[in-house]
Structures are given as C-alpha cells and as structure tokens.
A and B are shown apart, each in its own frame.
Chain A
Amino acid sequence: DQQVKQNSPSLSVQEGRISILNCDYTNSMFDYFLWYKKYPAEGPTFLISISSIKDKNEDGRFTVFLNKSAKHLSLHIVPSQPGDSAVYFCAASVNPWGKLQFGAGTQVVVTP
C-alpha cells in the first residue's frame, strides 16, 4: 500500500506564477517530510524538508507547508521559472535519517 500519495501526475504553470504541488500520507508515524526534484537522466536532488514539529519551512522561492491533522503537505514555488520544469517527488520518513517512502511524483512544466 502506498503510504505517500501524489495525486496529480502533472502540473502546467506559466513562468512567474505560483506552482503548488500536493502530497498526502497515511502513516501517522512519519516525522520528516522532504521534496526531491528530478531532471531526466539524472538522480533526484534534495530540495527542501520539514519536520513534524513545524508547519512551514521556507528556502528562497520554495516553501513547504505541513498540516498534520489532515496528513497533507504542499510545496509552493514562487515565482516559477523555466528551470523548475522537472519531476517533483514527495517523501517521508519515520526517523531523522534512513528509509524514505516516496510518492509517485508530479511532472511540472513551466511555460514562458
């Protein structure tokens, strides 16, 4: 059973606008949540994370929001740029290192 779900396989957004990516999880033991970005023919690269003691974490144009009661997190990218076109994976972990459960990914396309 998939414990981390990304229900939108794709998202198209205009350059300069906001991209919002959503992720739901079912395991209440998850304490750490991450977003990875992946370009074609490359490995995933870490983007941003949040622990369950917080509800928001910002890093430049990227902000992750966590709603523990709804078991939901989202990634906001503002403003979106053409270089943001990639697949974004949501991931979760029970521990501060080690095993990650990944969602299926969301393909983001930023159009001029």
Chain B
Amino acid sequence: NAGVTQTPKFQVLKTGQSMTLQCAQDMNHEYMSWYRQDPGMGLRLIHYSVGAGITDQGEVPNGYNVSRSTTEDFPLRLLSAAPSQTSVYFCASSYARELIGSYNEQFFGPGTRLTVL
C-alpha cells in the first residue's frame, strides 16, 4: 500500500494564480480531509468528505474548493491564490466507522509546501 500520497511536494504561485493540490489514498477509506499547518497554530481543517459525492467545510474553508468523485481521490483547488494561503497542506484519510472505545486514526500524507508571492 502506498497509503496517502500528495502531489506536488513544493509549489510557488503568484497572487491570483489557481492550482490544484492532489491527494490519493489506496486504503479504501471513506473519510478524507485537508488541513493546513501554520507556525504556532497547529493543523486546521479546511474541508472534509465522508464519501464520494459528499463534502463539507471545516474551520478555514475560504479560498478553497474540493470535490470527491471517487473514493480514492480528494483534490483541493485554490481558485485565486493569496499570500495568506502560504502554508503546508496535509491530506488525511481514515475509515468512517466506530471502533469500540477507540478513535479511528487518520493517516496523513507527506504534505505540500505552498508559497504564494
């Protein structure tokens, strides 16, 4: 299993440009999510999905779009990049089912480091 993969690893954009961050998982996980990591703020949830065709907003969704056409893929789109979107982006996935007395852990990809000039 490759687990959770993300492309690209690094990206530099100019203000106003658009791009798509790719995320794929091969574990047949129902739940997928996007986080951004900024210094001193931990990871913050951008968007998430509980299955193909179902997406919802997280804590910081503005400026980002997502779609989930297959179980495996969950791309994140920046429509018009802004310097405030300079960050490290992580995709994660997990099963969407209850384990007795335990949390169903999320598996994270290696991240995409994005700089917006």
* Partner-B contacts on A (CB < 8 A): 2, 4, 6, 9, 32, 34, 36, 41-46, 49, 51, 53-54, 89, 91, 93, 96-100, 102-105
Contact = CB atoms under 8 A, between A and B. Distances in A.
Q: Tell me whether chain A's interface is mostly helix, strand or loop, or mixed.
A: loop
Nearest to B99: A96
B101 A100 contact: no
Given A51-B101, A51-B102, A97 B110 contact: no
B48 A46 contact: no
B105 A46 contact: yes
Nearest to B30: A97
B103 A99 contact: no
10 contacts: A9-B40, A34-B103, A36-B108, A46-B106, A49-B105, A51-B102, A97-B95, A97-B96, A98-B31, A99-B48
Interface residues of B, number: 32
Nearest 8 Cβ contacts at the A-B interface = A43-B108, A102-B42, A97-B104, A32-B103, A46-B105, A102-B43, A96-B98, A104-B42
Interface of B: 4, 31, 33, 35, 40-45, 48, 50, 58, 90, 92, 94-99, 101-111
Given A32-B103, A97-B96, A98-B96, 17 more contacts: A34-B103, A34-B105, A43-B111, A44-B43, A54-B101, A89-B43, A91-B43, A93-B103, A96-B99, A96-B102, A97-B31, A100-B43, A102-B42, A102-B43, A103-B42, A104-B40, A104-B42
